[in-house]
Amino acid sequence: MSASIIDGKQLGAEIEEGLKSSVSKMTASSRAPHLVVVIVGKDPASFVYVRNKEKACKRIGIRSTRYDLPEDSNHDDLISLVRKLNDDPEVDGILIQSPLPSDFDEIGITEMIRPDKDVDGFHPVNLGRIVTGRTDGMLPCTPSGIMKMLEWTGESLKGKKALVIGRSRIVGMPAALLLAQRGIDATVTISHSKSEDLESLCRSSDILIAAVGKPDMVRKEWVKEGAIVIDVGINRVEVGGRIRLVGDVEEGASEYAKWITPVPGGVGPMTISMLMMNTVRAAEARMY
Ligand code: GUN
């Protein structure tokens, strides 16, 4: 079998097309949605991610503002900025780029963002809503992008065995909850660094979500024949003196899978499109 590709770039572009018309209506009747991104310090990968978010805003017509705080700024500086943005009626979405410098309490800062402006979907109110079965709010972007990609395949997930590898609050945990929600009805296993016999877990799974950040963590022959593979990893590895981006799943897994996401061009662009969708939704909720 050679897997069909779930093209996140293409699907993300289609979603953005849909958002453009909502944005132009909003802009004509009131004002453009407004996303504020805050970056602290000089993490080079963060600059790349933030630039990609700014480019997406531009494509769609979303206003974006960026605050660059110096590496040596303190917690109070960031807290007062978040308070100011929370209170600003012209700001719809607030995103604090992760990682913050190590002396910052990242989870504490996330909790200070107003839940209705939390376009990352990381606030406990937004994460908690998923547990109650409400999936119409600010969903975390990578998990909701994964669900859109699964939906796009047209495959039924009902009763299927889904394995989520990784239990982060940003990807693994919410992705597991979304897969198990009523109406989707997958049978979900969450595995992590202490899980025994990952190979057998993978071999018996119809849906594999790899979100650990370790290149080739999932060997290609572990993939069940006909499985759907969503590779969330974006790992920089050096091959022959050049840096390449690879996922968590070994290259060649498409010989076994029915559907697979590429790296790059899979989950990454979908995450950005979901951020744009959350920003538009946040703005609509404020304006209408
Ligand atoms: N750093 C890498 N990806 C993300 C993201 O989706 N949101 C935030 N806030 N920081 C990130």
CA nearest to 160, candidates 125, 187, 121, 191? 187
Q: Is 278 in the pocket of ligand 1 (CB under 6 A)?
A: no
**Residue 53 exposure: Cα atoms within 13 Å on the Cβ side:** 31
Domain 141-267, CATH homologous superfamily name and number:
NAD(P)-binding Rossmann-like Domain (3.40.50.720)
Q: State if residue 144 touches ligand 1 by the CB under 6 angstroms criterion.
A: no
The CATH classification number of 30-114 equals 3.40.50.10860
Q: Is 10 a catalytic residue?
A: no
Per the annotation, the verdict on 97 as an active-site residue is yes
pLDDT for the residue numbered 206: 98
Any ligand 1 atom below 6 A from CB of 52: no
Q: Do domains 30-114 and 141-267 have the same CATH topology?
A: yes
In the structure, what pLDDT confidence band is assigned to residue 288 with cuts at 50, 70 and 90? confident
Lowest mean pLDDT among 64-68, 73-77, 148-152: 73-77
Q: Could you give the percent of the chain with pLDDT greater than 70?
A: 100
Q: What's the pLDDT tens digit per position in 123-158?
A: 999 999 999 999 999 999 999 999 999 999 999 999
Domain boundaries, given as residue ranges, for the chain: 30-114, 141-267
Residue 33: the pLDDT is: 98
**Chain mean pLDDT for the chain:** 97
Q: Is 120 in the pocket of ligand 1 (CB under 6 A)?
A: yes
pLDDT at 51: 97
Mutate to test the pocket of ligand 1, among 98, 107, 139 (most ligand atoms within 8 A of CB): 98
- Give the burial class of 23: count Cβ atoms within 10 A of its Cβ; 0-12 exposed, 13-18 middle, 19 or more buried: buried
**Residue 120 annotated to the active site:** yes
Instruction: Tell whether the model's pLDDT for residue 32 goes beyond 90.
Output: yes
Nearest CA owner, ligand 1 atom 9? 97
Average pLDDT over residues 79-89: 98
Across the range 11-28, mean pLDDT stands at 97
User: What pLDDT, on the 0 to 100 scale, is given for residue 1?
Assistant: 72
pLDDT digits (tens, 9 = 90+) for 224-281: 999 999 999 999 999 999 999 999 999 999 999 999 999 999 999 999 999 999 999 9
- Read off the pLDDT of each residue in 205-226 and give the average, rounded to a whole number: 98
Tokens of 267: 């989950």
